[in-house]
């Protein structure tokens, strides 16, 4: 049984979405991890930093969350083999913590966007995407006001753009919906779409389950 963690902050609102998905995965023990507690290296095989409004998005989205004990200890856990996925506000926290490069700006149309969008897998990303998944299209929900991802040419060399919008909803550079970076024995992925909100049969919308099933398969192996 492998432990998959969900990092909770005051203001997280997609934490239990992820928990409900994980508790239905065979061989996975989901665990909530409070932001004030350090993350022990080797404890979690997977760690999700969920969407929401950590600390009310005061100052800047993710700016306070990056100072937590959990985030300060996360790099060592990643180096030792934890695979981290930051979703929406979780992506913002990873950027503020400089675990991923670039910035998220206000959407190009200056409006909050909440809808399903079509995305295409563009590269492999262990453990989330395999070679066979490249060019596969997924319909995933988005819900953000600051989802316009921008980065410099120097930053671009540090990451892989592993999932892209088919029709760009927010102005992100290169239509980027999610990025990926290897770190030691682990990895970091940040994305704006919410796969955890598209992973339950009851919702009749399960494209997001590809992420979890791939991770189960390759991490078990």
Q: Where are the domains of the chain?
A: 2-220
Report pLDDT for 221: 72
- Each as own residue / partner, the long-range contacts of residues 170-173 (CB below 8 Å, 24 or more positions apart, any chain) are 170/107, 170/108, 170/109, 170/113, 170/142, 170/144, 171/105, 171/107, 171/108, 171/109, 172/147, 172/148, 173/149
pTM exceeds cut of 0.85 = yes
pLDDT averaged per 10 residues in sequence order, the chain, 221 residues: 96 97 97 98 98 94 96 98 98 98 97 98 98 98 97 91 98 98 98 97 92 96 72
Is 35 one of the annotated active-site residues of the chain? no
Report pLDDT for 154: 85
Report pLDDT for 130: 98
Choose, from 88, 96, 119, 144, the residue flagged as catalytic. 88
Q: Tally helices (H) and strands (E) across the chain.
A: 5, 11
Choose, from 96, 119, 144, 196, the residue flagged as catalytic. 196
Bridge-based pairing state of the strands 148-150 and 103-105: antiparallel
Q: 2-220 domain in CATH 3.40.50.880?
A: yes
Is 88 one of the annotated active-site residues of the chain? yes
Is 196 one of the annotated active-site residues of the chain? yes
Choose, from 33, 35, 83, 194, the residue flagged as catalytic. 194
Beta-ladder partners of 139: 118
Report pLDDT for 47: 98
Question: Phi and psi of 147, rounded to 5°?
Answer: -125, 10
């Amino acid at each position: 049984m492998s432990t998959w963690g969900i990092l909770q902050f005051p203001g997280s609102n997609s934490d239990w979405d992820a928990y409900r998905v994980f508790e239905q995965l065979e061989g996975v023990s989901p665990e909530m991890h409070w932001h004030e507690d350090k993350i022990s290296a080797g404890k979690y095989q997977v760690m999700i930093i969920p969407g929401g409004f950590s600390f009310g998005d005061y100052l800047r989205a993710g700016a306070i969350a990056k100072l937590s004990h959990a985030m300060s200890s996360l790099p060592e856990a990643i180096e030792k083999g934890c695979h981290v996925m930051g979703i929406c506000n979780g992506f913002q926290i990873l950027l503020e913590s400089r675990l991923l490069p670039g910035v998220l700006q206000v959407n190009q149309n200056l409006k909050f966007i909440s809808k399903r969008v079509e995305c295409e897998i563009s590269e492999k990303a262990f453990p989330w995407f395999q070679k066979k998944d490249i060019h596969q299209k997924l319909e995933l929900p988005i819900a953000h006001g600051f989802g316009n991802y921008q980065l410099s040419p120097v930053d671009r060399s540090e990451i892989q753009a592993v999932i892209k919008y088919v029709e760009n909803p927010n102005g992100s550079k290169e239509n980027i919906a999610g990025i990926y970076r290897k770190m030691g024995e682990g990895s970091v992925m940040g994305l704006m779409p919410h796969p955890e909100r598209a992973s339950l049969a009851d919702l009749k919308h399960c494209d997001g389950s590809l992420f979890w099933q791939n991770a189960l398969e390759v991490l078990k192996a």
